[in-house]
Amino acid sequence: MGYLSCNAESAIATCDPHFKKHKPLAATPIRHFHYADIAAAANGFSADTFLGRGSHGRVYRATLDGGKLLAAVKTTKLAGTTSKNHASKCTGCGNCTSPAENEIEILSQVPSPRFVNLLGFSTDPNGNKLIVVEYMPNGSLHDLLHSVKKPPGWSLRVRFALQVAKAVRELHSSNPPVIHRDVKSSNVLIDEEWNARLGDFGLALRGHVEDVRVKCTPPAGTLGYLDPCYLAPEDLSAKSDVFSFGILLLEIISGRNAIDVNFSPPSVVDWAVPLIKLGDFAGICDRRIGPQPDPAVLRQLAVLAARCVRSTAEKRPSMAEVVECLNLARKRNRASPIWNNLRRRVASVESALPVWEEECDSDRSEKFERMVKKGGKGKVSSVSRVGYGNGSEASNNNDKVMRSKSIGSGSGSLRGSWVKMQQQQHQTDNGFGRRKVRLKKSKSMGVLQGSLLLHYGIQNNNNDVREWPSWKRKCWKNR
Ligand SMILES: Nc1ncnc2c1ncn2[C@@H]1O[C@H](COP(=O)(O)OP(=O)(O)OP(=O)(O)O)[C@@H](O)[C@H]1O
């Protein structure tokens, strides 16, 4: 009888060794908890159960079912912005649903062992929704990468990257597809078996591009992770998640925040992509753990990240391709030490080559790989490292750098944080070199203003290799 009850989730659980201990999730009913039970389980929402604070409310640990079930309870506020007039006419635009309602709706439809799943919900006496999700005892990937004394090593980082990529791929391939819109390190939580799980579906959109809801929902996301091509509702595509994933991958490799004014330039894209194009892969590695022992794996990760953050959405890989690439990197990373030693010697020669201009193009990267295997003849050239300053100064553990946060509905607040960020950036880059600045958390954003996004787009536009003629010239000269 076992095979008769097999569903998509159990199939994943069977195929993927990381998830073999998970039971099929479809059978788990979504529970409606009494507020009093939830309040008691979270010890009256006291400090000892407090887990963290997001842009939509606080998160607490709750012990339910007589101690058998550990959960995380997310308190939220009602959206409360929709006029009665609009609500009566609305045919399903995204503005009427609060992030909490949205998260409940989406997670109840697409449960997966790769997500932080919904267990149930409750409503407080003021009508605010409380979301009850699986408790993740090892905190967020953001905290692991930026706060803990002993940051994760390379094999754990590659494993996390692959697991997140698989989670996003699963969303994109569901029917109808789901676009998460807020892929970032603080929305990746680590379970008891050290698996990375994608959480926080408050901004996610389920549907096809022609659906009213998708067509009418204003752009949203988190500064630093937000796709510069996503300026209006109709610009939304799965490639926006690919961009955010690329930022996350750069964060995993470098251990630096998506936007960090302790670095110059503060944007991880503007800082890392030029180094990747110059073949300085070690220059973007988290100095606390040193460069990846296998230079070929490092090169694969870095080039993949650069391709994900390309300024032209169509040129970015699909999440399926990202998963394939990371699978290869992980396999190589896990190969036997003797074999790895041999390969490292060969790879160190390969990786000394700069990244060819077109390598970030998916269709040309294979050509490039073939060429490198043949002995590196062709358009590639050796380029000396460029002095971008010692970026690792800022990775010092003492620096207090806060994480990027989703910005909820309210373009005003977004404008405020953007201006603030610009001012901080100006203060830091005013010709006196880098200064250590304590950053404020930036937040996920709901409604974005076109001009503001355009401004943001311009800030990040130079991540396209074609927009680096000086690099091109340099490469050509040093051929
Ligand atoms: N399921 C969970 N298990 C354990 N800790 C959690 C869980 N969910 C959230 N947390 C903790 O609470 C913090 C706040 O989470 P939340 O999802 O509300 O906000 P965020 O992702 O940090 O920011 P934003 O709301 O802007 O996306 C997280 O960083 C994490 O430390």
pLDDT digit string, tens, across residues 230-243:
999 999 999 999 99
Which protein residue has the closest C-alpha to ligand 1 atom 27? 406
* ipTM of predicted assembly, 2 dp: 0.97
pLDDT at 353: 53
Instruction: State if pTM tops 0.95.
Output: no
Q: State the distance from the centre of ligand 1 to the C-alpha of 241, rounded, in angstroms.
A: 19
pLDDT digit string, tens, across residues 45-67:
999 999 999 888 899 999 999 99
Which protein residue has the closest C-alpha to ligand 1 atom 13? 52
3 state SS for the chain: CHHHHCCHHHHHHHHCHHHCCCCCCCCCCCEECCHHHHHHHCHHHCHHHEEEEECCEEEEEEEEHHHCEEEEEEECCCCCCCCHHHHHHCCCCHHHCCHHHHHHHHHHHCCCCCECCEEEEEECCCCCEEEEEECCCCCEHHHHHHCCCCCCCHHHHHHHHHHHHHHHHHHHHCCCCEECCCCCHHHEEECCCCCEEECCCCCCEECCCCCHHHHHCCCCEECCCCCCCCCCHHHCCHHHHHHHHHHHHHHHHHCCCCECCCCCCCEHHHHHHHHHHCCCCHHHCCCCCCCCCCHHHHHHHHHHHHHHCCCCHHHCCCHHHHHHHHHHHHHHHHCCHHHHHHHHHHHHHHHCCCCCHHHHCHHHHHHHHHHHHCCCCCCCCCCCCCCCCCHHHHHCCCCCCCCECCCCCCHHHHHHHHHHHHHHHHHHCCCCCCCCCCCCCECEECCCCHHHHHHHHHHHHHHCHHHCHHHHHHHHHCC
* Torsional class of 410: left (φ above 0), alpha (ψ -120 to 50), beta (otherwise): left
pLDDT above 60 (res 328): yes
Which protein residue has the closest C-alpha to ligand 1 atom 11? 52
346: its two tokens: 């060969």
The answer to whether the CB of 405 is under 6 A from ligand 1 is: yes
Quote the mean pLDDT of the chain.
Answer: 73
Among 102-116, 300-314, 395-409, the minimum mean pLDDT is found in: 395-409
pLDDT at 461: 36
pLDDT at 250: 98
pLDDT above 90 (res 298): yes
Among 37-46, 167-176, 351-360, the minimum mean pLDDT is found in: 351-360
The answer to whether the CB of 117 is under 6 A from ligand 1 is: no
In percent, the amount of the chain with pLDDT more than 90 equals 50
Is residue 182 flagged as an active site residue? yes
Which of 56, 186, 188, 223 gets mutated to test ligand 1 (max ligand atoms within 8 A of its CB)?
Answer: 186
pLDDT at 429: 36
Q: Quick one: which atom of ligand 1 is closest to the CA of 136?
A: 3
112 or 293, higher pLDDT? 112
Are 27-78+96-135 and 137-337 equal in CATH topology?
Answer: no
CB distance 283 to 391 below 8 Å: yes
Please state, in angstroms and rounded to a whole number, the distance separating the CA atoms of residues 114 and 118. 12
Among 36-45, 109-118, 365-374, the minimum mean pLDDT is found in: 365-374
Which of 140, 184, 226 gets mutated to test ligand 1 (max ligand atoms within 8 A of its CB)?
Answer: 140
Q: State the distance from the centre of ligand 1 to the C-alpha of 57, rounded, in angstroms.
A: 9
For range 443-471, the mean pLDDT: 38
pLDDT band at 449 (very low <50, low <70, confident <90, very high): very low
Q: Which residue out of 16, 48, 182, 294 is catalytically annotated? A: 182
pLDDT above 70 (res 405): no
pLDDT band at 326 (very low <50, low <70, confident <90, very high): very high
pLDDT band at 291 (very low <50, low <70, confident <90, very high): confident
Q: Quick one: which atom of ligand 1 is closest to the CA of 59?
A: 12
pLDDT above 90 (res 315): yes
The answer to whether the CB of 135 is under 6 A from ligand 1 is: yes
Which protein residue has the closest C-alpha to ligand 1 atom 9? 59
Among 293-297, 347-351, 361-365, 412-416, the minimum mean pLDDT is found in: 412-416
Domain boundaries, the chain: 27-78+96-135, 137-337
pLDDT above 70 (res 163): yes
Q: Quick one: which atom of ligand 1 is closest to the CA of 443?
A: 26
The answer to whether the CB of 445 is under 6 A from ligand 1 is: no
Greatest mean pLDDT range, 157-161, 215-219, 400-404: 157-161
Which protein residue has the closest C-alpha to ligand 1 atom 23? 54
352 or 467, higher pLDDT? 352
- 414 exposure class (CB count in 10 Å sphere: 0-12, 13-18, 19+): buried
In percent, the amount of the chain with pLDDT more than 70 equals 60
CATH of region 137-337: 1.10.510.10
Q: Is 400 annotated as a binding residue?
A: no
Q: Quick one: which atom of ligand 1 is closest to the CA of 405?
A: 26
The answer to whether the CB of 55 is under 6 A from ligand 1 is: yes
pLDDT above 70 (res 448): no
**What is Dmax (Cα atoms) for the chain?**
71
pLDDT at 69: 94
* Torsional class of 411: left (φ above 0), alpha (ψ -120 to 50), beta (otherwise): alpha
Which of 55, 59, 77 gets mutated to test ligand 1 (max ligand atoms within 8 A of its CB)?
Answer: 59
For range 451-457, the mean pLDDT: 34
What are the strands of the beta sheet with 118-123, ordered from one edge? Answer: 31-32, 118-123, 129-134, 69-75, 57-64, 50-54
CATH of region 27-78+96-135: 3.30.200.20
pLDDT at 149: 80
Please state, in angstroms and rounded to a whole number, the distance separating the CA atoms of residues 336 and 58. 45
- Which residues, at least 6 apart from 424, have a Cβ–Cβ distance to it below 8 Å? 261, 437, 439
pLDDT band at 147 (very low <50, low <70, confident <90, very high): confident
